[in-house]
Amino acid sequence: ACELDENSLAVEIGPGLGALTERLAASGARVLAIDIDRQLKPVLEETMADYDRVRLLFGDILEFDLEQELARAFNLENISPYKVCANIPYNITTPIIFQLLEQCPHLESAILMMQKEVAQRLAAAPGSKDYGLLTLNVAYHSRVEMITRVSRNCFYPRPEVDSSVVKITPYPYHTKRVTVKDEQTLKKFMKAAFQQRRKTILNSCTGFFKTEKPSAAAILKSLDLNPDTRPEQLSLEDFARITEMF
């Protein structure tokens, strides 16, 4: 799914014993493999001994400037577009996704294996039970595509949950799916709306924008939105239009 060749630049997060790393390296791509577990160093060094375009880095991915580390590892003056492939730890899935989307301007795409339930939230449609703030924040930065599902029975030791492989493709740098004057206001409004899911969007608007109900209702109706709609029924575009009008 990563589709690498000898011209590619790639990052693998959590190589473990190096099974995927070896497949990535076999494409001829330059690969930076990052793992938090330093005890894996001798095993990975031995596994990667035949691949001179693989670099190993040990430490916490969330504490690294990923593009700075890529430049250092391969002595690059300028970062070219690169891909990330990772079987990411379930407990830090969301922080890793936002690190990639908010701090990695040259990221071309990320193929990530994650807990099935998180993947469903990323790809959820408005009105579905999995749709929420995570869906909207990721959609603001990127397109999400479900690649495949992976049963827990494919692993040893067997985890407690099933997994899914997801492709995340960021919008080109400095562009987003929607255009708003103030990104932070949009994100804060969406967060406030989803903190009280049972509230109508009318109540969310009056509380967040400090507006009287009749005025807020009129604005929503001018946008062809029913004031009694719940936040989970609104698209990212709806939230952006509301934010721009208030």
200 plus 107 within the same structural domain:
no
- Structural domain total, the chain: 2
Does residue 177 sit within a domain?
no
Task: For residue 228, give the CATH number of its domain.
Answer: 1.10.8.100
What is the reported pLDDT for 178?
92
Phi-psi group of 139: left, alpha or beta (phi > 0 → left; psi -120 to 50 → alpha; rest → beta):
alpha
* Order of all β-strands in the sheet with 54-58: 54-58, 30-35, 9-13, 82-87, 107-115, 163-170, 142-150
Does residue 154 sit within a domain?
yes
Would the pLDDT of 154 be above 80?
no
155 plus 229 within the same structural domain:
no
28 plus 136 within the same structural domain:
yes
Please give the structure tokens belonging to residue 35. Answer: 């793992």
The answer to whether the CB of 246 falls within 8 A of the CB of 211 is yes
Does residue 37 sit within a domain?
yes
Task: For residue 158, give the CATH number of its domain.
Answer: 3.40.50.150
Mean per-residue pLDDT over the chain, rounded:
93
Which domain, by its residues, includes 211?
A: 183-245
Q: What is the length of the chain?
A: 246
Nearest to 119 by CA among 142, 159, 149, 154: 149
Please give the structure tokens belonging to residue 46. Answer: 């031995």
Per-residue pLDDT tens over the stretch 3-56? 899 999 999 999 989 999 999 999 999 999 999 999 999 999 999 999 999 999
